């Protein structure tokens, strides 16, 4: 029997879907047959273009605006998704508030720590409260958080970003324990420094030191990250939960 990723008849919500990685994940899940709820916060134009592209691929899609750091807005988004597309079988928590440049613990602003807490920890808490109850009713579901290799590296100046992502990791591992009996899996994909659309246009000069430390001696691509998400969203991963899956060429390796 041939093995394939078949998401036909499934609805996936992807937060931050209008962003570079989000768009690739949306296309990849749509190629596997999933309908896509496109979440965005600020870029309505990109979201609308993505919806049109996905509809052109033959799947149902619509765009939904929300601040994922606000429970009220996430619940409003939930109601709109339920009304327009149905109840998601797959939730991909991808949105994050970007803070640049990073700074030391002594110099990073309190506002940056608060931003990362809202967009990493509360983001996932809000999505779980909004969408997991419907998964529990059906006794199936896939929840996938997009984490980062930085969570294991904890290099200087990463504290605000890492504090949010490590908090996210804790929330999702506990959630995996709590909803496992309902046949809902909760996993995380942790990309490294990924080549996305912007880097393809601007080039990847200046990454020699990073690449030299990666066992596979290259940077990964957004498509490789999306492939991991598609696998975890599928029935092929039906007995995998509580996983933190690095997609970074071995740059970080969880140990036993």
Contact criterion met (CB below 8 Å) for 148 and 23:
no
Average pLDDT (11-15) is: 98
Residues involved in catalysis = 161
Q: Is the pLDDT of residue 2 over 90?
A: no
- Express each pLDDT in 99-108 by its tens digit: 889 999 999 9
For 207-255, the pLDDT digits (tens) are: 899 999 999 999 999 999 999 999 999 999 999 999 999 999 999 999 9
* Residues 164, 166, 168: CA angle, nearest 5 degrees: 70
Separation of alpha carbons 16 and 168, rounded Å:
16
What are the boundaries of each domain within the chain? 11-246
Instruction: State the average pLDDT for the chain.
Output: 96
- Using DSSP, state whether 246 is helix, strand or coil: strand
Q: Which residues pair with 185 in a beta bridge?
A: 142
Tell me the three state secondary structure of residue 65.
Answer: strand
Q: How far, CA to CA in Å, does 220 sit from each of 5, 146, 155, 216, 223?
A: 21, 15, 20, 9, 8
Residues 6+ apart with CB under 8 A from 59: 30, 33, 34, 35, 36
Confidence of residue 3 (pLDDT cuts 50, 70, 90): confident
C-alpha dist (Å) from residue 90 to 35, 59, 68, 216, 249: 10, 15, 17, 31, 26
pTM over 0.75: yes
Contact at 8 Å (CB) between 165 and 120?
yes
Strands 11-14, 35-40: pairing is parallel
CATH 3.30.300.30 fits 11-246, yes or no: no
DSSP for 70-97, written as a single string: -HHHHHHHHHHHHHHT---SEEEE----
């Amino acid at each position: 029997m041939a093995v394939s990723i078949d998401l036909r008849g499934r609805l996936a919500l992807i937060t931050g879907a209008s962003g570079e990685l989000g768009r690739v994940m949306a296309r990849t899940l749509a190629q596997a047959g999933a309908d896509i709820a496109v979440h965005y916060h600020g870029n309505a134009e990109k979201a609308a273009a993505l919806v049109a592209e996905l509809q052109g691929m033959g799947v149902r899609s619509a765009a939904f605006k929300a601040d994922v750091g606000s429970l009220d807005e996430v619940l409003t988004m939930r109601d709109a998704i339920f009304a327009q597309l149905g109840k998601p079988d797959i939730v991909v928590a991808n949105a994050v508030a970007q803070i640049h440049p990073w700074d030391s613990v002594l110099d990073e602003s309190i506002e940056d720590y608060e931003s990362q807490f809202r967009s990493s920890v509360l983001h996932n808490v809000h999505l779980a409260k909004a969408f997991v109850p419907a998964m529990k009713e059906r006794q199936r579901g896939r929840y996938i958080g997009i984490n980062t290799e930085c969570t294991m590296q904890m290099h200087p100046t990463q504290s605000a970003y890492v504090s949010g992502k490590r908090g996210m990791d804790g929330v999702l591992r506990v959630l995996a324990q709590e909803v496992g009996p309902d046949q809902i899996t909760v996993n995380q994909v942790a990309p490294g420094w990924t080549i996305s659309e912007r880097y393809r246009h601007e080039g990847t000069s200046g990454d020699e030191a990073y690449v030299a430390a990666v066992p596979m001696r290259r940077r990964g691509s957004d498509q490789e990250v999306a492939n991991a998400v598609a696998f975890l969203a599928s029935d092929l991963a039906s007995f995998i939960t509580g996983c933190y899956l690095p997609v970074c060429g071995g740059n970080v390796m969880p140990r036993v």
